[in-house]
A and B are shown apart, each in its own frame.
Chain A
Amino acid sequence: MSAAASNGGRGRRGNRPSRTIRAYGEPMLWLTGGGLATALLMIVGLLALVVYQGTGTFWPTAVVKYELETGNSVMGEVARQERFQPAASVFEALPEDQRGRALSSVASQGGYSLRRMLRTGNFELTGEHFKWVSDFEIKAETLPDWALVFERRRQGRFYGEPLAFLVGGSAVAETPEDVWKKIRDTEGEVRARWKERRGLETDDIGAVNLRLEEARLRQHGAEVAYGLGSPQAAIAAAAFAEVESVATAEFDGIRARIQALDEQNASFQILVRTAAGQSIKLALADIVRVYPANRLGLAGKVAVYLSRWAEFVSDEPREANSEGGVFPAIFGTVVMTLLMSLLVTPFGVLAALYLREYARGGVVVSTVRIAINNLAGVPSIVFGVFGLGFFCYIIGANVDQLFYASKLPTPTFGTGGILWAALTLALLTLPVVIVATEEALAAVPGSMREGSYACGASKWQTIRRIVLPRAMPGIMTGMILAIARGAGEVAPLMLVGAVKLAPNLPLDSTAPYFHAERSFMHLGFHIYDLGFQSQNSEAAKPMVFTTTLLLIAIIATLNLTAVWLRGRLRRRFMTSQF
């Protein structure tokens, strides 16, 4: 206060002007705020990139036809374009008469040229899906009015202009309008027949196969149990022969029906002219989707866009996963994640209950706690290796020995499967659940426990009726974190059951409905597979982003569901105190 006196009655601090730069631009404020802003920017940037790239993939673009200086024509959709500096060798490769013009056009642009990646499709004709087209190569650019985009079950896309619609080899429509109308009229019935055929091929033949396989296993089992020449084995062999003869007859019946459907479908064809001038017949049954790209209005484009999304989320993959849908992967991801949550939550909660409620504090408990916390930092691939070594090779192999001996040496549980994958991820996320649950248990007020004890409740009654319900939202938080961590994990899954293409879903209509031993598809692994293992990498690239977008959306949905559930629990248990 001596300073105050010398300052004429005002305090040392009061003397300063109250608005200083330091008051507003406090360094720590900027530092911390800046840190937060950077973190937010990175997250928002990441999401924006994925959303931008992922949502654009299915939007139908115009089909462009380029007449090249060489006299050839190419047609397709522009996937992307870029400016580049053509090397001298590019011009030397050109014929004499074009070289001059090409050089002058590039020179006029300062040595640069624009080139676009054209999705030309027609793989069976050209041997490539994409082609670079540079400005100086182009003589003319047109948007052919009736260019059709065909998405096919095999060989990718096809671009061409319709010439005729053929039924049984003879043309019934010759103008593009009529052909288009015919396509619209018939594609429904053709697709229905194709679906029926696929049903016969997978479900019906599969059912017969299953019966045959069971009979074979019974025979094999009898041989193993009673010896090769024993009467029991002979009976089983006779039974197998009977089943086999029935099955053969059924197979023949199904094959005949398939053939009939194929023949009906084969009569519908479209005659198409490619940009190069070739006339090609396309079977209508092979086509998933066809649309006149340059005639689509906004509504038409939206319709194509939505139908592609619908196919993406509900259909099976085609063409080594780079086309078609990802339904099996979505299904596998969701089922595996839910299974993992179901496995990890009880274990985590029990462990946390012991640590927090029963164990007496001490060196051992502290050590266990530190170990659990550190477990959260172990690289996930380590868990994958453990899962493979322990679950698949030790537990799985023993289960096979005990229950599936007749199938050996083909492993049933002795290899990767959805159960082992879920268990591995449960182990991976266990620390998260334990830590969150412990915190939730610790946050239950001691007064509530005392109130319960004072009523004469035992320890377990107190835990079950008071502590656990009250801690439930916190436990749910742990589960949410576990889901977030587990659903996006890929590395360990590659070792314990995620595959590129799973023949069957882990959940289906044949007993026992849930097949814990089956391998499964997973969106995360699907992304990896698309991005790095795909043959047609240019076509797969946009799918990588779309699949990523889908994965993020699914994890967000799972999380939001859990958050919503937690919110409901919170409202039930945590109304304001006064």
Chain B
Amino acid sequence: MATAHANMLSNGRGMMSDAATGKTSADAAVPASRSAADSLAAAARGERVATETHLALAAEEAAVEIDDFCLWYGASQALYDVSMVIPRGKVTALIGPSGCGKSTLLRSVNRLNDLVEGVRISGDMKLSGASIYDSSIDVIELRKRMGMVFQKPNPFPMSIYENVVYPLRIDGERDRRVLDEVCERSLRGAALWDEAKDRLTTSALGLSGGQQQRLCIARAIAADPEVLLMDEPCSALDPIATGRIEDLIEELKGEYTILIVTHNMQQASRTSDFTAFMYLGSLIEYGGTYEMFSRPHLKATEAYVSGRFG
């Protein structure tokens, strides 16, 4: 589906920086007037913090729209009025200090937080225009339209082959040819085919950590989802495996809408088209990656991306 809606702009690495830089002149009019202390202190007080959203995003077609989304774990609120648009066919990075709600936001997109007891939400999210949180929505069908990669690799206790085709298996797909084809395509897509093709029937738990993570990516893209959610996919990996996964994201870009959480500023700047900075449950600033890293509007963002706090 994502391929059908191939993004309307260009398709490739250079495109995003063009889009981001194209708007800089317009954005430059907005001065980085608020000090770092201002917005962060407001967020710390639990006040509503207006998100600084760059104009570059206005031109993008939305794959996922998030409107005034709040989330509570029991009595404690983890997300405060988050509103953002995740552009179709682009890579959007979520950055922010630990515990600021990045994973929570990501897990809200495919309603994985439903599984946590005592979670309450307000606001709404839309996937391609249809509400995600509508009571009539079939959560299982919804999740089938998204793929998710977790912070820690979580292969299932079965063979590599069965791991990859799991999303098809639960849909009742039996045709061996279809399964074989999907398995190969996904493993190639996750850059694991060469390493795994001779041991498809062996247990996935025998793979190395990096291979397991790539296997999880293969699994996430096996059912051809519209949106790919990645929660710190490289945090458990060595630089080489990280590099491969970054290359992979680079390749998948355009075909899939990708939302990725990362703690690694270089990774965010290398791989993403847009970057969102969160703090204590609020979305502080959101814009093109190049802008966010070179000329952020807020001092807080500048401080965070340059490593001066957080």
Give A contacts to B, CB under 8 Å: 445, 447-458, 461, 465-466, 469-470, 572-578
- How many B residues face the partner with a CB closer than 8 A? 33
- Given A448-B157, A574-B157: A458 touches B140 (CB 8 Å cut-off): yes
- A469–B223 touching, CB < 8 Å: no
- A455–B206 touching, CB < 8 Å: no
- Nearest-neighbour CB distance to chain A for B258, whole angstroms, equals 15
A577 to B210, CA, bound (A): 11
> Which of A451, A576, A578 is B156 in contact with, Cβ under 8 Å?
A451
> Which of A448, A453, A465, A576 is B115 in contact with, Cβ under 8 Å?
A453
- A456–B112 touching, CB < 8 Å: no
- Given A461-B170, A573-B203: A450 touches B154 (CB 8 Å cut-off): yes
A450 to B113, CA, bound (A): 10
> Which of B166, B203, B208 is A455 in contact with, Cβ under 8 Å?
B166
Q: Which positions 191-221 of chain B face chain A at CB distance < 8 Å?
A: 203, 205-206, 208-209, 212, 216, 219-220
A454 to B150, CA, bound (A): 10
What would 19 A/B residue contacts be, using CB atoms closer than 8 Å?
A: A447-B154, A450-B154, A451-B148, A451-B154, A452-B166, A454-B110, A454-B147, A455-B143, A456-B140, A456-B170, A456-B223, A457-B140, A458-B140, A466-B157, A573-B203, A575-B203, A575-B205, A576-B205, A577-B209
- Nearest-neighbour CB distance to chain A for B132, whole angstroms, equals 14
- A457–B170 touching, CB < 8 Å: yes
A470 to B146, CA, bound (A): 25
- Which residues does chain B contribute within 8 Å of A451, judged by CB atoms? 148, 150, 154-156, 216, 219
- A573–B216 touching, CB < 8 Å: no
> Which of A450, A455, A575 is B223 in contact with, Cβ under 8 Å?
A455
- Given A456-B141, A458-B140: A450 touches B150 (CB 8 Å cut-off): yes
- B206–A465 touching, CB < 8 Å: no
- Nearest-neighbour CB distance to chain B for A300, whole angstroms, equals 55
Q: Which of B112, B115, B147, B157 has the most CB of A within 10 A?
A: B157
- Which residues does chain A contribute within 8 Å of B26, judged by CB atoms? none
- Which residues does chain A contribute within 8 Å of B141, judged by CB atoms? 456
**Does B169 interact with chain A (Cβ within 8 Å)?**
yes
Q: Which positions 139-166 of chain B face chain A at CB distance < 8 Å?
A: 140-141, 143-144, 146-148, 150, 152, 154-158, 166
Nearest B residue to A451 via CB reads B154
- Which residues does chain B contribute within 8 Å of A445, judged by CB atoms? 154
- Given A450-B112, A572-B203, A573-B205: A455 touches B154 (CB 8 Å cut-off): no
Q: Which positions 85-106 of chain B face chain A at CB distance < 8 Å?
A: none
- Nearest-neighbour CB distance to chain B for A118, whole angstroms, equals 65
Nearest A residue to B171 via CB reads A456
- Which residues does chain B contribute within 8 Å of A466, judged by CB atoms? 156-157
Nearest B residue to A445 via CB reads B154
- A577–B170 touching, CB < 8 Å: no
A573 to B110, CA, bound (A): 28
**Does B189 interact with chain A (Cβ within 8 Å)?**
no
A133 to B208, CA, bound (A): 77
- A456–B144 touching, CB < 8 Å: yes
Given A449-B115, A455-B144, A456-B144, output 4 extra A-B contacts at Cβ < 8 Å. Answer: A445-B154, A447-B154, A454-B146, A455-B223
- Nearest-neighbour CB distance to chain A for B151, whole angstroms, equals 9
- Nearest-neighbour CB distance to chain A for B243, whole angstroms, equals 19
- Nearest-neighbour CB distance to chain A for B95, whole angstroms, equals 22
- B158–A469 touching, CB < 8 Å: yes
